């Protein structure tokens, strides 16, 4: 069975808002740093064809296969690369995508990853603890769960998952090792976190923390964002969709920093920092999905879109 035959129905998050933000036109050049199943990329290509070009990057080789199938009608207009967006600048220069008219980062986990049990991303599907975007990399969630000390586990869950029960969860994990599967881990979390919460499953924050750690998500995001102004042409747009507060905080702080004309301490009479803004904020308020979208696509409910534009 081919990859595309087994894929769930793909609903790109904030699609209309992303297209409105990027303003793609015929002949433009774009980079989709997390091409996934190709939903946003297809909508962009529809606007920039036949003379435009799109570079799609994804750390997950299965996502590259799926997006290749989905975007095959666009032929040489699409370049797909199986790599991590932390290498964004090198990739864009290698494939001659600079400067570009827009860059998109849709962060988080794709439907392909969540709905494929053996990938180990979901506590709803019993599978080995994996959680790697790139199955070829070394560290897995199992390595962390079964080898980290109790203190290291607690710190990881508190830092990346903002889990208030991190110490109790870490202690329960260590006392019951080895932990082999996603369902085993979810049950250990439930045992010490007071049962199911009203809004989210008690294992949600633990699984998120492990996924972030396995894939170095926050560090990679910070590094990728820093190079985006160098790759955008004047007037080019940077759009980022985040799904939790840690990601959104990094994106917000980066955009505000890049849009600032002065970074001197408050009260400084004469600016001495030499800061030159490279971006301007298109919307100071975060853009969220409509109630209609969250009803039809519950996975979009936590999405936040931020937009900035490259200055001359």
- Average per-residue pLDDT in the chain? 92
Residue 97 has pLDDT above 70, yes or no: yes
Decide the pairing of beta strands 232-242 and 100-106.
parallel
- Predicted confidence at residue 257, as pLDDT, reads 95
How many CB atoms within 10 Å of residue 97? Answer: 21
What is the C-alpha separation between 306 and 228, in angstroms, rounded? 14
- 6-10, 252-256, 306-310: segment of lowest average pLDDT: 6-10
Q: From 215, 247, 263, give the residue that closes a domain.
A: 215
Decide the pairing of beta strands 78-82 and 279-281.
unpaired
Q: Please state the rounded mean pLDDT for residues 115-132.
A: 84
Residues 29 and 52 sit within 8 Å (Cβ to Cβ): yes
Domain count, the chain: 2
- One domain, residues 280 and 154: no
% of the chain residues with pLDDT over 70: 95
What is the C-alpha separation between 54 and 95, in angstroms, rounded? 11
Q: Could you report the per-residue pLDDT of 135-159, keeping only the tens digit for each? A: 988 899 999 999 999 999 999 999 9
- One domain, residues 233 and 103: yes
- One domain, residues 232 and 90: yes
Residues 142 and 181 sit within 8 Å (Cβ to Cβ): no
Does the residue 174 lie in any domain?
Answer: yes
Q: How far is CA 305 from CA 107, 224, 236, 255, 300, in A?
A: 10, 17, 16, 12, 11
Q: Could you report the per-residue pLDDT of 227-278, keeping only the tens digit for each? A: 999 999 999 999 999 999 999 999 999 999 999 988 788 878 788 878 899 9
- One domain, residues 158 and 132: yes
Residues 124 and 259 sit within 8 Å (Cβ to Cβ): no
CATH number at residue 156: 1.10.150.170
- Domain containing 138 equals 122-215
What is the C-alpha separation between 305 and 286, in angstroms, rounded? 6
| Residue whose pair of structure tokens reads 């853009």 in the numeric block | 287
- The two tokens of residue 39 are 């939903």
- Predicted confidence at residue 130, as pLDDT, reads 94
Which of the two residues, 45 and 195, has the higher pLDDT score?
A: 45
Report which DSSP code applies to 199: S
- One domain, residues 225 and 89: yes
What is the C-alpha separation between 102 and 32, in angstroms, rounded? 9
- The two tokens of residue 270 are 């004469």
Report which DSSP code applies to 10: P
CA 209 to mean position of chain CA atoms: 14
* 311 half-sphere exposure, CB direction, 13 A CA radius: 12
- One domain, residues 15 and 73: yes
- 6-15, 245-254, 299-308: segment of lowest average pLDDT: 6-15
Which of the two residues, 188 and 265, has the higher pLDDT score?
A: 188
Report which DSSP code applies to 181: B
Q: From 197, 215, 233, give the residue that closes a domain.
A: 215
Does the residue 40 lie in any domain?
Answer: yes
Burial of 148 per CB tally in 10 Å (0-12, 13-18, 19+): middle
- CA torsion sign, 118 to 119 to 123 to 125? negative
- Predicted confidence at residue 9, as pLDDT, reads 57
Residue 89 has pLDDT above 50, yes or no: yes
Does the residue 117 lie in any domain?
Answer: no
CA 300 to mean position of chain CA atoms: 13
CATH number at residue 76: 3.40.50.150
- One domain, residues 226 and 90: yes
Q: From 180, 215, 250, give the residue that closes a domain.
A: 215
């Amino acid at each position: 069975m081919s990859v595309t035959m087994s894929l769930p129905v793909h609903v790109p998050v904030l699609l209309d808002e992303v297209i409105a933000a990027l303003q793609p036109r015929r002949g433009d050049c774009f980079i989709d740093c997390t091409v996934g199943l190709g939903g946003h990329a297809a909508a962009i290509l529809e606007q920039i064809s036949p003379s435009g070009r799109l570079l799609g990057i994804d750390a997950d080789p299965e996502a590259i296969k799926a997006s290749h199938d989905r975007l095959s009608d666009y032929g040489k207009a699409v370049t797909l690369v199986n790599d991590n967006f932390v290498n964004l600048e090198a990739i864009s220069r290698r494939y001659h995508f600079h400067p570009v008219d827009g860059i998109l980062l849709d962060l988080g986990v794709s439907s392909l990853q969540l709905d494929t049990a053996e990938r180990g991303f979901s506590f709803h599907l019993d599978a080995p603890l994996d959680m790697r975007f790139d199955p070829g990399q070394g560290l897995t969630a199992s390595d962390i769960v079964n080898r980290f000390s109790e203190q290291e586990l607690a710190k990881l869950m508190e830092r990346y998952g903002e889990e208030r029960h991190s110490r109790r969860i870490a202690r329960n994990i260590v006392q019951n090792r080895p932990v082999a599967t996603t369902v085993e881990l979810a049950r250990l979390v439930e045992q010490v976190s007071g049962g199911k919460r009203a809004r989210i499953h008690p294992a949600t924050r633990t699984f998120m923390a492990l996924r972030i750690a396995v894939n170095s998500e926050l560090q990679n995001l910070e590094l990728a964002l820093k190079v985006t102004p160098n790759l955008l042409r004047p007037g080019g747009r940077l759009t980022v969709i985040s799904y939790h507060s840690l990601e959104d905080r990094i994106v917000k702080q980066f955009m505000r920093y890049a849009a600032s004309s002065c970074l001197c301490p408050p009260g400084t009479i004469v600016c001495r920092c030499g800061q030159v803004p490279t971006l301007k904020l298109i919307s100071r308020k975060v853009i969220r999905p409509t109630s209609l979208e969250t009803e039809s696509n519950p996975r979009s409910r936590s999405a936040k879109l931020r937009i900035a534009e490259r200055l001359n």
